[in-house]
């Protein structure tokens, strides 16, 4: 690894992520939007790989590009009565667009004044073994709490989504 | 031209802005949840980028990103379950239908 990211790979992945996100907003078909979201997630996994976060890239593909997108598709399919319902009417939402543009503009303006103390990428990047060791020593308590959060969310999701004849 | 921390921050800001636009403008509950995921991902890019450039040995940002992923996975599961539960009552996922609290 040199002291900077591979430029070509970064530009390709950034274009894929941004283009996918824009297409997700442009398309009027909800199913297409879910697939564009999947593409964005995969491009972000590539960016994690560039940043030598291999574990995060794997988790990104498994959780976001895999599980979350499939969950989205399931809910879209379950809540559509006809195939034509997937095509939505044009919703520009100018107010929302203005607010989002303002917000992004402020952040970008702040970033132009931002001078990172470390302009070049440090050479050292611990591998996945070091990550696992840290995870199960220093971060063990947050890890267990995260497991509890996921368990609670699982039970809650089943409780909400299932059991239609309860009431 | 070398790719630095600022490039990644700009990318994340742009993705976050697109996600914000989606959350504010879409009228389908599922689309709003999808845009929320986009915003969460943009934040994770920031965390990982700062981790890689500022504290590469400690990997603090990577762990933060892992826990942020856990929380947003839980959030999306619950959100979609809620959408399904509401759909069963209203037969619709349009946000305009959910106006019981409107005064």
Residue range A42-58, pLDDT digits in tens: 999 999 998 888 899 99
Query: Counting Cβ atoms within 10 Å, is residue B19 exposed (0-12), middle (13-18) or buried (19+)?
Result: buried
Using CB atoms, which residue from B13, B25, B84 is nearest to A97?
B25
> Cβ separation of B81 and A156 shorter than 8 Å?
yes
CB contact under 8 A, A10 and B27: no
How far B61 CA sits from the closest chain A CA (Å)?
10
Query: What pLDDT, in 10s, does the model give residues A18-34?
Result: 999 999 999 988 999 99
Q: What is the pTM of this model?
A: 0.89
Cα A17 from Cα A48, distance rounded (Å): 12
d(CA A149, CA A159): 15
Q: Per the CB < 8 Å rule, is A126 touching B85?
A: no
pLDDT computed for residue A90 by the predictor: 76
Residue A119 carries which DSSP code? Answer: -
The chain B residue lying nearest A39, using CA atoms, is B38
Structure tokens at A76: 């879209």
* pLDDT string in tens for chain B (103-residue length): 677 888 899 999 999 999 999 999 988 889 999 999 999 999 999 999 988 888 888 888 999 999 999 999 999 999 999 888 888 888 888 888 878 887 7
Instruction: Tell me which of A12, A53, A165 to substitute to probe the interface with B (most B C-beta atoms closer than 10 Å).
Output: A53
With beta carbons less than 8 A apart as the criterion, state whether A7 and A41 touch. no
Residue A82 backbone zone (phi > 0: left; psi -120 to 50: alpha; other: beta): beta
């Amino acid at each position: 690894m040199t002291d900077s990211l591979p430029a070509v790979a970064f530009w390709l992945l950034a274009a894929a992520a941004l283009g996918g996100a824009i297409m997700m907003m442009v398309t009027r078909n909800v199913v297409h939007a879910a697939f564009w979201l999947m593409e964005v997630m995969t491009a972000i996994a590539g960016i994690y790989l560039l940043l030598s976060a291999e574990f995060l890239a794997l988790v990104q593909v498994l959780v976001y590009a895999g599980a979350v997108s499939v969950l989205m598709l399931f809910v879209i399919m379950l809540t559509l009565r006809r195939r034509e319902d997937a095509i939505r009417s044009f919703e520009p939402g100018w107010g929302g667009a203005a607010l989002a543009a303002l917000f992004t503009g402020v952040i970008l303006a702040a970033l132009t004044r931002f001078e990172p103390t470390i302009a070049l990428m440090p050479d050292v990047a611990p591998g996945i073994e070091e990550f696992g060791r840290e995870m199960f020593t220093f971060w063990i308590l947050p890890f267990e709490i995260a497991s509890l959060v996921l368990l609670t969310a699982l039970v809650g999701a089943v409780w909400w989504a299932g059991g239609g004849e309860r009431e | 031209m070398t790719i630095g921390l600022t490039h990644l921050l700009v990318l994340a800001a742009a993705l976050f802005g697109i996600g914000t636009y989606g959350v504010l403008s879409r009228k389908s509950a599922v689309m709003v949840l999808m845009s929320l995921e986009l915003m969460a991902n943009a934040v994770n890019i920031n965390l990982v980028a700062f981790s890689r450039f500022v504290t590469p040995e400690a990997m603090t940002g990577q762990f933060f990103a892992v826990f942020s992923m856990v929380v947003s996975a839980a959030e999306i599961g619950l959100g979609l379950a809620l959408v399904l539960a509401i759909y069963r009552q209203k037969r619709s996922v349009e946000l305009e239908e959910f106006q019981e609290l409107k005064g």
